[in-house]
């Protein structure tokens, strides 16, 4: 009975760890009545936040992470390095394209942490299991009708 409970606990923990590592969050609407962002022709439409994370051995060999492919986004992929700034940026650009908006104010956050980094001399010396994460946030700008009729700016 005890072994069965332990096995079930391990399976549940594993399932929690490997579910959907790619996340795209967006606001329904940016409260922007009368607000313009300097240097951008248009009005703020949405705020978008994209994140992807994964687990690595020795900070270089991927174990699993979020799949960034269009048709498999949000699923877990094994033994593939998908936690990179260019792949996360591609998701952000796709979000802007699908909404016919431009990006501004892109803020990246890249992080790699060893699981034992809080233990002195052990965390960096015996860094076996690592967690990597890439986050991007930006404001989507909907071009004005006058800017789009002039050809807009890129």
Query: Burial code of 11-32, b = ≥16 C-beta within 10 A, e = fewer?
Result: eeeeeeebeebbebeeeeebeb
Which pLDDT value is given to residue 137? Answer: 92
Each residue's pLDDT tens digit, 83-104 = 999 999 999 999 899 988 888 8
Give me the domain span that covers residue 69.
Answer: 17-149
Cβ count near 67 (within 10 Å) = 21
Cβ(24)–Cβ(48) below 8 Å: yes
* pLDDT per residue as tens digits for the range 1-45: 677 777 776 665 665 555 557 878 777 665 555 555 666 677 777
Residue 9 lies in a domain: no
- Report the distance separating Cα 100 and Cα 125, nearest Å: 48
| Number of structural domains in the chain | 1
Please report whether residue 132 resides in a domain. yes
Question: What average pLDDT score do residues 116-143 get?
Answer: 78
pTM (2 d.p.):
0.71
Q: Is residue 7 part of a domain?
A: no
29 versus 132: the higher-pLDDT residue is 132
Pick from 28, 10, 42, 73: nearest CA to 152 = 42
Q: Write down the pLDDT at residue 58.
A: 86
Instruction: Answer whether residue 6 is part of any domain.
Output: no
Does some domain include residue 39?
yes
Domain-located, residue 134: yes
Tell me which range, 92-96, 123-127, 142-146, is most confidently predicted by mean pLDDT.
Answer: 92-96
Determine what percent of the chain is predicted with pLDDT higher than 90.
19
């Amino acid at each position: 009975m005890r072994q069965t409970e332990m096995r079930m606990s391990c399976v549940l923990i594993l399932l929690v760890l490997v579910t959907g590592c790619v996340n795209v969050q967006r606001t329904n609407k940016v409260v922007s009545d009368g607000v313009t962002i300097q240097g951008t022709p248009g009005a703020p439409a949405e705020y978008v936040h994209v994140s992807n994370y994964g687990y690595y051995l020795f900070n270089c060999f991927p174990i699993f992470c979020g799949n960034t492919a269009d048709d498999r986004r949000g699923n877990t992929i094994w033994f593939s390095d998908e936690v990179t700034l260019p792949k996360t940026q591609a998701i952000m650009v796709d979000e802007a394209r699908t909404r016919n908006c431009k990006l501004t104010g892109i803020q990246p956050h890249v992080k790699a942490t060893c699981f034992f980094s809080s233990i002195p001399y052990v965390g960096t010396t015996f860094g076996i299991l690592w967690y990597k994460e890439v986050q991007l946030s930006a404001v989507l700008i909907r071009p004005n009708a006058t800017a789009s009729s002039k050809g807009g700016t890129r």
